[in-house]
Structure 1
Amino acid sequence: MALGTESIWLRRHATAAPPRLRLLCLPHAGGSAGFFHDWGHAFGDDVEVLAVRYPGRQERIADDPPGSVEELADALADELPPLLDTPLAVFGHSMGASVGYELALRLRDRHRVSPQLLMVSCRKPPHLLTPRSAAVTDDTALIAEVRRLGGTDAALLADPDLRELVLPAIRADFAAVARYSARPGIPLECPVAAYVGAGDPDVTADDMAGWAAVAPQGFGLTVLPGDHFYLVPRRDALVADIRARLAAQW
């Protein structure tokens, strides 16, 4: 991808002047770049937000959904180098946190560059992962699991026509999450900031504190009111916290 060209992988919220920082946002399982739409210009005129377009949804509805977390990280590691002339921060929610971690490892190993900051939300660190209990091959159970977790995607499942469009990507993402099993945590060369909703049904603050084991460059944990999708009702508080972290480091 050349600078100034459109990317099938990235929805770029361009700044008027060259940015001092880029913030890459990785959605949850079943999520899309649109989930971060109102983050586009929330971090100042010098921060360019890049929302990742996973295949199999929205503009990429005709593309095959991802087969694994690693596949997503591989593709993004190949896509990002033209944009690495500017410092990069990464935010990943739920499945996106695992993608962000794997991406950070690939950027370091393949391109000798690390994000300035990795922010992970509502996802256990790689060495503490436990198997998903949802029967991802059973659409009834899958829909029930999406509704249990909440979030904007749950509303789409109420419409039969929309359900047919979004369910394949949700099914593929949940299968990818299930296949991403526990593994030794490889330390990163960047600080890590972790976020979680106090009422998340699956991930606790203690779980998120486990990210410190792969963050020898620095670690911080923020707990906000809410559940697995705390970042919707607590959007302003989360954005303010991220903005402060970015301003403090650059």
Structure 2
Amino acid sequence: MSTTDTTALVCLPFAGAGASFFRPWAAHAGTELSIVPLQLPGRERLIDETPYDNVAEATDGLLVQTRKLLGERRRVALFGHSLGAVLAFELARKLVAEQGIDVVRLFASGSPEPADQRQRRATGLSDEDFLTRVEEFAGYRHAALEDPEMREMILPTLRADVAMHENYQPLADTPLDVPITALRGLDDTLVTTEEAAGWGKATSREFDLVELPGGHMYLTAIAPELLGRIRTAVR
């Protein structure tokens, strides 16, 4: 199967994460998918760049990056987890308007529907309280945050990501003209089945909800099964 025949799976990270999280997925993508991880500034190879603090600015930058990375590929699906889900949603709107791009599906993972904002916030808290709240939201704490030097390096980007997510409002009030699959871990205590099902209101096309084994960060443990579900959905 040639590169132009595959579906490019554009992947958007959760708060604090970088493109490297998705690179191992290539081993499970098969010949039908090609993994296209997007990199947000303020981490990994873009560590010296100022992180985005609002979704509108972020999706403008991500659109430019997506155009470059797609090359000749024209069939596109998007996957985003938590913060990445709303970034993928807004990026999907922009890609639908791109001439020659066929956006076949959005996979919104670990997130309530776009208009449903979290009531408890982390923005504005002291460093320790902020990290405790983020750990509560994410369901885990990255080991790097225990190292003082690494914490100093990571915190500004993590704060910017969390503020971007917590201050997000949908950039348009019309449903997305793309099918949506919402995904959540069966044991996720942060996003309920009902909240994930709310993504059905965000599309004018078909919608389905998939629940997979695990908690909020289910995707760290079951990449092969998840990629299998995605392949089936875009086939």
Q: Does 1:78 align with 2:64?
A: yes
Write out aligned runs for 1:187-206 (5 A): 187-206=175-194
Alpha-carbon spacing, 1:230–1:55, altered in 2? closer, same or farther (3 Å): same
Equivalent residues of 1:146, 1:154 under 8 A apart? no
Q: Does 1:213 align with 2:201?
A: yes
Corresponding position of 1:99: 87
Write out aligned runs for 1:235-246 (5 A): 235-246=223-234
Report % sequence identity: 32
Cα shift at 1:224: 1.6
Q: Does 1:169 align with 2:172?
A: no
Equivalent residues of 1:17, 1:46 under 8 A apart? no
Cα shift at 1:50: 0.7
SS of structure 1 residue aligned to 2:77: strand
Equivalent residues of 1:132, 1:178 under 8 A apart? no
Alpha-carbon spacing, 1:228–1:22, altered in 2? closer, same or farther (3 Å): same
- Deviation sequence 1:11-67 (CA, Å, 0-9, x none): xxxx98555221100000111111112102321134221111110001010000112
Alpha-carbon spacing, 1:235–1:110, altered in 2? closer, same or farther (3 Å): closer
Where does the alignment leave 5 or more consecutive residues of structure 1 unmatched? 1-14
- Deviation sequence 1:156-205 (CA, Å, 0-9, x none): 11122221221111011011111113677521111100101122232111
Equivalent residues of 1:126, 1:183 under 8 A apart? no
Alpha-carbon spacing, 1:184–1:205, altered in 2? closer, same or farther (3 Å): farther
Equivalent residues of 2:114, 2:170 under 8 A apart? yes
Q: Does 1:63 align with 2:52?
A: no
Corresponding position of 2:129: 141
Q: Distance in 1 between matches of 2:4 and 2:170?
A: 40
Alpha-carbon spacing, 1:129–1:113, altered in 2? closer, same or farther (3 Å): farther
Corresponding position of 1:28: 14
Cα shift at 1:108: 2.7
Q: Distance in 2 between matches of 1:202 and 1:185?
A: 25
Corresponding position of 1:108: 96
Larger mean Cα displacement after TM superposition, 66-75 or 49-58: 66-75
Equivalent residues of 1:196, 1:223 under 8 A apart? yes
Amino acid of the residue matched to residue 158 of structure 1? Answer: E
Where does the alignment leave 5 or more consecutive residues of structure 2 unmatched? none
Corresponding position of 2:139: 150
Alpha-carbon spacing, 1:16–1:194, altered in 2? closer, same or farther (3 Å): same
Equivalent residues of 2:5, 2:73 under 8 A apart? no
User: Would you say how many aligned residue pairs link Structure 1 and Structure 2?
Assistant: 232
The alignment yields a C-alpha RMSD, in angstroms, of: 2.3
Alpha-carbon spacing, 1:241–1:115, altered in 2? closer, same or farther (3 Å): same
Q: Does 1:181 align with 2:169?
A: yes
SS of structure 1 residue aligned to 2:90: helix
Alpha-carbon spacing, 1:44–1:117, altered in 2? closer, same or farther (3 Å): same
Which segments of structure 1 move beyond 6 Å, counting only runs of 4 or more?
A: none
Q: Distance in 2 between matches of 1:85 and 1:45?
A: 14
